Structure 1
Amino acid sequence: MNNDKFNEIYTDRLLLRRFKDDDFESYYDILKQEEVSMWLGNGKRKSPEDVKRVMKYFERHWALNDYGVWAVINRETNELIGQCGFNILEDTKETELLYAFDSKFWGKGYATEASMAAIKFFSENFKLNPIVALAYPNNDRSSNVIKKIGFEYKGMAKHFGVELLYYELNLEKLSF
């Protein structure tokens, strides 16, 4: 497929675009925050090497699947404020919606706005169903976003060596 239209998505306040090499410093500044990294994967703070590995993984994922994780840019300030997109879970091969934002931007609706745009893109271009979302049991902010988008809680599931809340979204039930 390798279609350029998949590289960027615009919302009222955000631009979702593929990561670039020069995003590293800003992205590392986000992922090194303990209050951010504690909710991602195994919950450990990310080193510069971890962030470089993640960025390379995202690019490989795009190359193999024609979708992946976007850098989320505030359109007003042109600042990288987080990530949002899709990943194939290694152990189950399910497509997961994931997002993470700089803690100074929490509570402003960016995760919901970016996630809705990403899901709309995904539902219009891919026939994979359902998509899943994962959250740490005590991460109420993330769980609230996931539920607001329309995911249904299905139980607990172990991923990344951690027991997580497991949600599903049936794309066929969505109306945009």
Structure 2
Amino acid sequence: METERLIMRPLTGSDFDDYAAMLTDPVVAEGLVESSGTTPSDAWRSLATFIGHREIRGYSHWALVEKSTGSFVGRAGPWQPHGFPGLGVGWCLTRAHWGKGYATEAAAAALAYCFAELGAEEVISLIRPGNTRSISVAERIGHRHLRDVDYRGKRVHLYGSSRSPR
């Protein structure tokens, strides 16, 4: 998939160095609901989880690559691991690419994909309290705060939006 400024392609093992640099940044990891550590080994398990999710479900987060430079920007896409409260979209960007609108661009494309390609009626995003950047992204793609839920031992915000009536 492509957006105006991004190539959205499957994550692969060759993304590991860039992916690990992103997830081992403690400021980046602090905002993630799914974060379970900030070591290269944790990043390896995370990357393998997203690649495995694609094998099991047929969809997953994509690697985000900046068209103009070929730089790894982060990951975003649909997501519904075991125990997740619904079909979700998520995003995580390298700190060097924060503030450029890439998260909103990728999340909007992922949301459209969920409705058009996966036939979703509702799509959600789980966001850690205090993660104002992600809350802003969620609101810009049309999500609204629906409720707070417990997920993997953490209390998180559940944002979501429904398919537009036809």
Check if 1:148 corresponds to 2:140. yes
The number of aligned residues is 166
Pair 1:163–1:143, CA change in 2 (3 A): same
Matched to 2:59, the amino acid is: Y
Per the alignment, residue 17 of structure 1 pairs with: 9
The normalised TM-score by structure 2 is 0.93
Q: Per-residue deviation at 1:12?
A: 1.2
* Contact 2:28-2:94 at 8 Å conserved across structures: yes
SS in 1 for 2:68: coil
Q: Decide which moves more: 151-160 or 120-129.
A: 120-129
Query: What do you get for the CA RMSD once the two structures are aligned?
Result: 1.7
Matched to 1:22, the amino acid is: S
Check if 1:53 corresponds to 2:45. yes
Pair 1:42–1:119, CA change in 2 (3 A): closer
The correspondence for 1:77, drawn from 52, 69, 80, is: 69
The normalised TM-score by structure 1 is 0.88
Q: Decide which moves more: 150-159 or 42-51.
A: 42-51
Q: Per-residue deviation at 1:81?
A: 1.0
Q: Structure 1: any 5+ residue segments left out of the alignment?
A: 1-8
Per the alignment, residue 164 of structure 1 pairs with: 156
Q: Structure 2: any 5+ residue segments left out of the alignment?
A: none
* Contact 2:33-2:126 at 8 Å conserved across structures: no
Q: In 2, distance between residues paired with 1:59 and 1:45?
A: 18
Q: In 2, distance between residues paired with 1:25 and 1:140?
A: 27
* Contact 1:58-1:69 at 8 Å conserved across structures: yes
Check if 1:107 corresponds to 2:99. yes
